[in-house]
Amino acid sequence: MNVNAYKNLLNEVDSGKRAVMVTQLDQGDCESKFSYNKTLLIENDLRTDNCSYNLNEIVYEGAKNALETGNLQVVKVSEKETYLIEPYFPEPRLIVLGGGHIAKPLVEFGARAGFSVTVIDDRPSFANTERFPDAEKVICESFEKCFDLINLNEASFVVIVTRGHRHDMDCLRQVLKHNTAYVGMIGSKRRVKSVMEQMISEGYSEEKVNSVNAPIGLEIGAVTPDEIAFSIISQVIKYRRLIDRNSGKIKTSKSNWPEFDRDVLIELSKEESTPKAIVTIISSKGSVPRKAGAKMLVYPHGEILGSIGGGCSEGAVINNARFLLRDGGYQIQTVDMTGDVAEQEGMVCGGLMDVIIEPFGK
C-alpha cells in the first residue's frame, strides 16, 4: 500500500507546504488489483529539478503546473501509462490579532470566503465564541504569549487589528519571525511609518518590513467597520489567489484552491488492509455541491466516508466503486447535475462533475 505517501502528505500540508501526489493508474504486471504506485512530490523539490523523482518529463511538468494552478489532471503518456496528478494545498488560515469592532465582520467574511479563522484578544469580553461564532478558534491570551498557541506558517494570513499601537508592535515583532502568506496591519500612514522605522532599527530587514501591507486593505474608500473588513478580506483573497508565494509578484492567472478532506486522508494514512475505493472530483463545471479535490471513500459493502455532494448521482458513483473493488481497474465517470437531475437534487442550476474512482488497499 501507499499509506506512507498519505502520512507524509499530511505532514507537509500541516506544516503549511504544498505538495502534489502522482498516481500511476495502470497496474502493469502488478498482481494486486488494489496496488497503485503513488509518488509524493514536495513543493520545494518541484521548483528545482526532476532528478530525485525520475519521472516522465510530461508527468513532471504536469505536476509543476498543478502546483501553480491548483488544477487536478489526468495525463496519458502512452497506451500503458496514465497518471492522476493531484495538488494538495494546506487549509488557508486567517489569524486575526485583535477582537474589536473590525474583527467581528472580518471573521465572518473570512469564514465565508473559505478560511479557517482564529481570533485572538487578551480581553475575555472580546475573546469568546458568542462574539465570534464563525471562528474555528477563539483564544483569550496576551499578545506576547499567544504565539506559543498558534502555528504560523506559509498558509497563514495574519491581520493585526489590535486596540493600540503597543500591541500592534508586539504582534508585528513576532509575526515577522515567520514566513507567512500575508501580513497586514491597521493604522494611519503616519503611524505605520513610525512602526516600520522602529522595526528596521531593531534589526528586521527592509525586505521583510516592506512586505507588510500597511495601511491594511485595498483602497476602496472604506469608512465603516464592515467596509474596512471588506477591504481587508479582499486583499487577503488577492494574496491567496494571485500573489506568487516565492516572488511576491502578481501571477498571470489565478490559482484554484482544491478541496481538502482531512478525515479521508487520515483514513488513507492508516496501517490497515481493508480494501476501499477512492472517489475524487477531478473537475467540475457549473453549480455543483463540491469542487475539484473533494474525496469520498467507498467500502466493499457500501459504507462511505466523506461525500462528493450526496443524492442519487453520488449513489451511482458508489455502485460503480463497489464493482471496481470486485473487478479491479479504475474509472473516470461524469456526473450530470443539469436539467432534471439538478431539479431532483434541489439545485437552482445544475452542472457537471468528472470523478475518478481508484481502488486502494491490499
How confident is the model over 66-120, as pLDDT tens digits?
Answer: 998 999 999 999 988 999 999 999 999 999 999 999 999 999 999 999 999 999 9
Answer yes or no: is pLDDT of 65 > 70.
yes
With beta carbons less than 8 A apart as the criterion, state whether 358 and 25 touch: yes
Q: Is residue 251 part of a domain?
A: no
Section 129-144 average pLDDT: 97
Answer yes or no: is pLDDT of 341 > 60.
no
Q: Is residue 248 part of a domain?
A: no
My answer on whether 278 and 265 are in the same domain is yes
With beta carbons less than 8 A apart as the criterion, state whether 212 and 172 touch: yes
pLDDT score, position 170 = 93
Q: What is the rounded average pLDDT for all residues in the chain?
A: 90
With beta carbons less than 8 A apart as the criterion, state whether 115 and 92 touch: yes
Section 200-205 average pLDDT: 95
Residues 6+ apart with CB under 8 A from 328: 27, 33, 34, 359
**% of the chain surpassing 70 pLDDT:** 92
My answer on whether 53 and 141 are in the same domain is no
Alpha-carbon distance 112 to 301, whole Å? 36
| CATH number of the domain enclosing 114 | 3.40.50.720
My answer on whether 26 and 149 are in the same domain is no
| Crossing angle (nearest 10°) for helices 189-201 and 165-175 | 50
pLDDT score, position 347 = 53
Of the residues 211, 241, 271, which one is the last residue of a structural domain? 241
Which residues lie across from 21 on neighbouring strands? 40, 86
Domain holding 50, by residue range, is 3-89+258-360
Section 210-225 average pLDDT: 96
pLDDT score, position 45 = 79
Q: DSSP string of 275-312?
A: -EEEEEEEEEEES-SS-TT-EEEE-TTS-EEE-SS-HH
Tens-digit pLDDT profile for residues 143-188: 999 999 999 999 999 999 999 888 999 999 999 999 999 999 999 9
Does residue 59 sit in helix, strand or coil? helix
Alpha-carbon distance 219 to 217, whole Å? 6
My answer on whether 173 and 231 are in the same domain is yes
Section 194-209 average pLDDT: 94
pLDDT score, position 11 = 94
Q: Is residue 249 part of a domain?
A: no
Number of folded domains that form the chain? 2
Q: Using CB atoms within 10 A of its CB, is residue 45 exposed (0-12), middle (13-18) or buried (19+)? A: middle
Alpha-carbon distance 103 to 250, whole Å? 27
CA angle 223, 214, 129 (to 5 degrees): 65
Straight-line distance from the first to the last Cα atom of the chain, in angstroms, rounded to the nearest whole number: 6
Tens-digit pLDDT profile for residues 243-289: 887 777 887 777 888 999 999 999 999 987 789 999 999 999 988 88
